A and B are shown apart, each in its own frame.
Chain A
Amino acid sequence: QTVVTQEPSLTVSPGGTVTLTCASSTGAVTSGYYPNWFQQKPGQAPRALIYSTINRHSWTPARFSGSLLGGKAALTLSRVQPEDEADYYCLLYYGATRVFGGGTKLTVL
């Protein structure tokens, strides 16, 4: 069974920078896994942020960026705002299946 692993929790100060990562139990994450990133706030549906590793949606602030880093997919938040406090999920595509990471709870403090 494929497992996708994210940091359970991270804390960042307002105005700071933080990087969330997404690792695959099958090995290095590549662009061929089409990494997606989602933000979810309490009581809301997930909101798509990044697709195909690096591509922002029209509604995604420019301070959110996606990349590959050390064999993992990564989401970097720059100039963090209080409203960025949320749960963040990555999604990897494995051909016939899709697997979400366990999520990272980001605290802005």
Chain B
Amino acid sequence: QLEESGGGLVQPGGSLRLSCAASGFTFSSYAMNWVRQAPGKGLEWLSYISSSSNIIYYADSVKGRFTISRNNARNALYLQMNRLRAEDTAVYFCARETTPVLDMDVWGKGTTVTVSS
């Protein structure tokens, strides 16, 4: 299971750190992703981190502003979000990825981020 936390209301230009707590599987064996969904919109992939953190990818929309990281000892995934904009308002999901079949098979319920003054 995956459970996101850390969402909330933040002003434009502000920062927020999301967490994703993993349980019920060997977290350190899996790559992880962050995905978001703006109100009434579709899914948008944001970032990927490999099981050992040696490979990290970002979507262009968040590159340079968001940072993905993980702590395998704590079974936790993080997303540090800086310089937030109104268009970052969304529900943020973490999702497990099984390799090498590239299967985004387990998702959390999401945490809501609202960027507004």
Contacts and interface: CB of A to CB of B under 8 A. Distances in A.
Interface of A: 1, 34, 36, 38, 40, 44-48, 51-52, 55, 57, 87, 89, 91, 93, 96-103
B109 A45 contact: yes
Interface in B40-70: 42-45, 48, 57, 59-60
A48 B101 contact: no
Interface residues of B, number: 23
A45 B93 contact: yes
Contacts, number: 64
Interface of B is mostly: strand
A34 to B, nearest CB: 4
A46 B43 contact: yes
B103 A46 contact: no
B7 interface: no
A40 B35 CA distance: 14
A55 B103 CA distance: 10
A45 B103 contact: no
Interface of B: 33, 35, 42-45, 48, 57, 59-60, 93, 95, 98, 101-110
A47 B103 contact: no
Contacts of B104: 36, 38, 48, 51, 91, 98
Contact of A97 (B59, B101, B103, B105): B59
A100 B44 contact: yes
A93 B103 contact: no
Given A45-B93, A46-B43, A103-B43, A98 B33 contact: yes
Residue of A38, A47, A89, A98 ringed by the most chain B CB atoms within 10 A = A98
A34 B57 CA distance: 17
Contact of A89 (B42, B101, B105): B42
Given A97-B59, A98-B33, A100-B45, A45 B101 contact: no
Contacts of B107: 45-48
